[in-house]
Amino acid sequence: MKGHISHLSAAIMWNIPYIETVIGNMISESENTDITVIGYNARFCINGKKVRSTKLALPSKSVKVLNGKKVSSPELLFLELASVLDIQRLILSGLQLCSHPPGFPTQAITTKLKLERFISKTKGHRGHSKAVRALKYIENGSASIMESLAYMFLTLPYILGGYGLRGAVFNHEVKLNSSTGMRLKQCRCFVDLYYKDAKIGVEYDSFAHHNSPSEQGKDAIRSAILKRQGIEVLHMNTIQLYDKNACSDFAHNLAARLGKRIHIRTKKFDEMHDLLRRLLPDNKPISEP
């Protein structure tokens, strides 16, 4: 029986950042090795291997060789995850697949464009419709799991539990002029979430890197410099993200700056917002590099 490592096992092999947060309690299922075979009409779990099957042909280059083993490509993996994850976790998985350190896009596992091109060729496959839906809310360039989650809270539509403030991009590069660059000892900086049309940035200030007086002072100087370059910066800290009411207050303040209003009428919002909150890591912030 020939096949390739797939689904949750492939997600671990590709080293998706903070995979335990992305897939939640399903991490325990990854103890079994997921294997997908083509044209083998059977599904079973034996000797620590969960065998899945597909009768439909896959697009070319759907399977890669990683560390000497055949494994689902990142793009096929996204489709596979669509069959086992709910829509919110699938969006988070896409954000993490497309994440990379600021200024280093080549370090991303894949890109939104690659995902879109692949998914467009998989109509009829299990998970296709959900993958298409999730791709509407995925962007390149998140630098951390907490940035990804903050983005989801602020930008996802009400029906998915977010505040519907679309238009943000991750880690927008701002080139500094010579005088301000000298003060920050760098020629550019990156804004965590940036609304280009409104020239408004959102910075996520984690406890790990923004809690000391020194770091808070640097943040204030940086915000003032960006202000001089026409960019207003709003700071969202860990407490605001984890506290439901504080998060709502932040979103409404951001909406006002963007010239928008938040009108939540869907009955699904509270349920989906609570599910979105369950994605927050163990109700405590992650210390990130």
Given a cut of 50, whether residue 210 has pLDDT beyond it is no
* Strands of the sheet with 33-38, listed across from one edge: 44-46, 49-54, 33-38, 4-5, 69-72, 63-66
Q: Which one has a higher pLDDT value, 163 or 19?
A: 163
In the predicted model, what is the mean pLDDT of residues 30-43?
Answer: 58
Given a cut of 70, whether residue 219 has pLDDT beyond it is no
Given a cut of 60, whether residue 30 has pLDDT beyond it is no
| Residue pLDDT, tens place only, 76-125 | 999 999 999 999 999 999 999 999 999 999 999 999 999 999 999 999 99
267 and 274 Cβ atoms separated by less than 8 Å: no
Decide the pairing of beta strands 188-195 and 33-38: unpaired
Q: Which domains does the chain have, with CATH numbers?
A: 4-135 (no CATH), 145-283 (3.40.960)
Quickly state the pLDDT bin for 59 (edges 50, 70, 90): very high
Given a cut of 80, whether residue 17 has pLDDT beyond it is yes
pTM of the entire predicted model: 0.88
The first and second tokens of residue 176, run together, are: 């500094």
Given a cut of 50, whether residue 192 has pLDDT beyond it is yes
Given a cut of 80, whether residue 213 has pLDDT beyond it is no
